[in-house]
Amino acid sequence: MTRDFVNTIRAQFPIFAKRTDAAVYLDSAATSQKPQCVLDALLQVYSSSNGNVHRSAHRFARECTDALECARGTVAAFLNAPAPQNIIFTKGATESLNLVAQSLTSSIRAGQTILVSALEHHSNLVPWQELCTRTGAILKIIPLTSDGDLDLVELEALLDSDVAVVSVAHVSNVLGTVLPIKEIGKLVRSSSSALFVVDGAQAVAHLPVDVQDLDVDFYCFSGHKVYGPNGIGVLYGRMDILDKLPPYQFGGEMIEQVSFEHTRYNTVPYKFEAGTPDYPAAIALRSALDFLTSTGWEAILKQEQEILDLATQELSAIPDLTIYGAPHIRSGLLSFNIAGIHHFDLEVMLDRYGVAVRSGHHCAEPLVHLLGTEGTVRASFGIYTNPEDIFALSTALKKSCALLKPQHSGAA
Ligand code: PMP
CB 252 within 8 A of CB 277: no
pLDDT of residue 410: 47
In the predicted structure, residue 79 carries a pLDDT above the cut 50: yes
Looking from the CA of residue 171, the nearest atom of ligand 1 is 3
Q: What is the pLDDT confidence band of residue 411, given thresholds at 50, 70 and 90?
A: very low
Does the pLDDT value for residue 131 go beyond 90? yes
Helix crossing, 36-44 with 279-295: angle to 10°?
Answer: 150
pLDDT of residue 406: 64
pLDDT of residue 407: 62
Ligand 1 lining (C-beta closer than 6 Å): 92-94, 121, 123-124, 169, 173, 199, 201-202, 222, 363
- Could you report the per-residue pLDDT of 231-251, keeping only the tens digit for each? 999 999 999 999 999 999 999
Mean pLDDT over each residue of the chain, to the nearest integer: 95
- Ligand 1 centre to CA of 149 (Å) is 20
> Candidates 89, 219, 222, 230: which one to mutate for ligand 1, based on the most atoms within 8 Å of Cβ?
222
Q: What is the pLDDT of residues 309-349, one digit of tens each?
A: 999 999 999 999 999 998 778 899 999 999 999 999 999 99
Single-letter amino acid code for the residue at 43: L
* Ligand 1 centroid distance, CA of 224 (Å): 10
Closest ligand 1 atom to Cα of 169: 3
- The Cβ of residue 354 has, within 10 Å, a number of other Cβ atoms equal to 14
Contact 389, 309 (CB under 8 A): no
Atom nearest to 91 CA in ligand 1: 16
The proportion of the chain whose per-residue pLDDT surpasses 70, expressed as a percent, equals 98
- Tell me which amino acid residue 112 is: Q
Question: What pLDDT score does 248 carry?
Answer: 93
Contact 203, 209 (CB under 8 A): yes
Name residue 13's amino acid.
F
**Position in ligand 1 atom list of the atom nearest CA 30:** 8
Residue 150 DSSP class: B
Q: Is the ipTM of this complex over 0.85?
A: yes
Other CB atoms within 10 A of residue 110 CB: 9
Q: Which residues contact 165 (CB under 8 A, 6 or more apart)?
A: 104, 108, 114, 115, 128, 194, 195, 197
| Neighbour count for residue 328 (Cβ, 10 Å) | 9
pLDDT digit string, tens, across residues 265-285? 999 999 999 999 999 999 999
If one residue of 121, 128, 174, 376 were mutated to test the ligand 1 pocket, choosing by the most ligand atoms within 8 A of its CB, it would be: 121
Give residues with Cβ within 8 angstroms of 235, minimum separation 6.
87, 88, 90, 96, 99, 100, 218, 219, 220, 272
Q: What's the pTM?
A: 0.96
* Domains within the chain, CATH numbers bracketed: 3-30+296-404 (3.90.1150.10), 38-293 (3.40.640.10)
Distance 93 CA to ligand 1 centre (A): 6
**CB atoms near residue 59 (< 10 Å):** 10
pLDDT recorded at residue 141: 98
Residue 412: pLDDT band (50, 70, 90) is: very low
- Identify the DSSP state of 270: G
- Please tell me the distance from the alpha carbon of residue 154 to that of residue 143, in angstroms, as a whole number: 7
CA distances from 223 to 30, 32, 220 (A): 12, 9, 10
Comparing C-alpha atoms, which of 8, 12, 28, 39 is closest to residue 389? 28
| Residue of the CA atom closest to atom 4 of ligand 1 | 201
290-297's contacts with Cβ under 8 Å and 24+ in sequence apart are: 290/37, 290/74, 291/12, 291/35, 291/37, 291/38, 291/227, 292/78, 292/205, 292/226, 292/227, 292/383, 293/78, 295/9, 295/383, 297/207, 297/208
Task: Give me the pLDDT at residue 396, please.
Answer: 97
Q: Which atom of ligand 1 is nearest to the CA of 222?
A: 15
165: closest CA among 123, 196, 130?
A: 196
Shortest-distance Cα residue to atom 8 of ligand 1: 30
The one-character DSSP state at 152 is H
Confidence of residue 1 (pLDDT cuts 50, 70, 90): low
Buried residues in 75-85 as b, exposed as e (16+ CB within 10 A): bbebbebeebb
Residues belonging to the chain: 412
pLDDT of residue 192: 86
Q: Determine phi and psi for 377, rounding to 5 degrees.
A: -100, 135
* Residues paired with residue 24 on neighbouring β-strands, in sequence order: 355
Pocket test for ligand 1, best of 28, 167, 221, 363 (most atoms within 8 A of CB): 363
User: How many whole angstroms from 49 Cα to the centroid of ligand 1?
Assistant: 31
Residue 255 has pLDDT above 80, yes or no: yes
Where in the sequence numbering do the catalytic residues fall?
363
Instruction: Please report the pLDDT score of residue 148 as a whole number.
Output: 83
Whole-number Å distance, alpha carbon 362 to ligand 1 midpoint, is: 10
167 falls in which pLDDT band (50, 70, 90)?
very high
Cα 327 to averaged position of ligand 1 atoms, centre (Å): 22
Residue 323's SS3 state is strand
